[in-house]
Amino acid sequence: MSGKRTDYISWDEYFMGVATLSGMRSKDPNTQVGACIVSEEHKILSMGYNGFPTGCSDDDFPWAREGEPLENKYFYTTHSELNAILNYRGGSLEGATMYVTLFPCNECAKAIIQAGIKRLVYDSDKYNGTPSTIASRKMLSAAGVDIQKYEHTGRTVTIQL
Ligand SMILES: O=c1ccn([C@H]2C[C@H](O)[C@@H](COP(=O)(O)O)O2)c(=O)[nH]1
Ligand SMILES: [Zn+2]
């Protein structure tokens, strides 16, 4: 055997795969989101998933979607994109790309823009058309962030854990 392998995964498959794996750490029973931030040199800089802040127990804080604001998850969850940005300890994210398994909400869009992230690759767009994602798209576009829908290749990867 002399030539190189040809069936290796692409950069997009690799980074969206890492984002997907990161999302599998989420305890949210309804929507698990993973994010992976990558440098212009294809180096992984940071990762994140949606969950409660450090010190806020996954067993004590609520995962419900409904009910009083203090009794459901929305006031308490840190979104995967923000976690990925905050988890980065290396300095600037200027020019980086974020791979994320769900199109970002308006709050995450603001954090992405302010962090200097210039390219966004997303997978699910299940909240497309809601005020939050409309505002998000509007801000990301105005800020010049290159938004790309991840194109599934159909490749299945099995990892035995
Ligand atoms: O930009 C986003 C938007 C949402 N999330 C997280 C926050 C929640 O944990 C879930 C959404 O829950 P639903 O039950 O689908 O309303 O997704 C995120 O990480 N990033
Ligand atoms: Zn968000």
Per-residue pLDDT reduced to its tens digit, 65-112: 999 999 999 999 999 999 999 999 999 999 999 999 999 999 999 999
Can you give the residue range of the structural domain that contains 31?
A: 11-149
Report if residue 43 sits inside a domain.
yes
In degrees rounded to 5, what are phi and psi of residue 44? -75, 125
pLDDT over 70 at 1, yes or no: no
Report if residue 159 sits inside a domain.
no
User: How is residue 84 written in tokens?
Assistant: 């990925």
Report if residue 47 sits inside a domain.
yes
Q: Total domain count for the chain?
A: 1
Report if residue 2 sits inside a domain.
no
Report if residue 106 sits inside a domain.
yes
Percent share of the chain, pLDDT over 90: 98
Report if residue 17 sits inside a domain.
yes
Identify the active-site residue in 40, 66, 68, 81. 81
pTM for the complete prediction? Answer: 0.97
Rg (CA), the chain: 17
* Among candidate residues 119, 97, 94, the one with its CA nearest the CA of residue 38: 97
* 15, 44 Cβ separation under 8 angstroms: yes
Report if residue 124 sits inside a domain.
yes
Q: DSSP label at 135?
A: H
Predicted confidence band of residue 154 (pLDDT cuts 50, 70, 90): very high
The average pLDDT across 118-125 equals: 98
- Predicted confidence at residue 16, as pLDDT, reads 98
Does 81 qualify as catalytic in the annotation? yes
Report whether residue 158 contacts ligand 1, using a CB cutoff of 6 Å.
no
Binding positions for Zn(2+) are 79, 105, 108
User: How is residue 117 written in tokens?
Assistant: 């992230």
CATH of the domain at 21: 3.40.140.10
* Among candidate residues 52, 51, 48, the one with its CA nearest the CA of residue 20: 48
* 114, 54 Cβ separation under 8 angstroms: no
- Which residues share a beta bridge with 124? 102
CA of 8 to the centre of ligand 2 (A): 32
Taking residue 122's Cβ as centre, other Cβ atoms within 10 Å add up to 20
Report if residue 161 sits inside a domain.
no
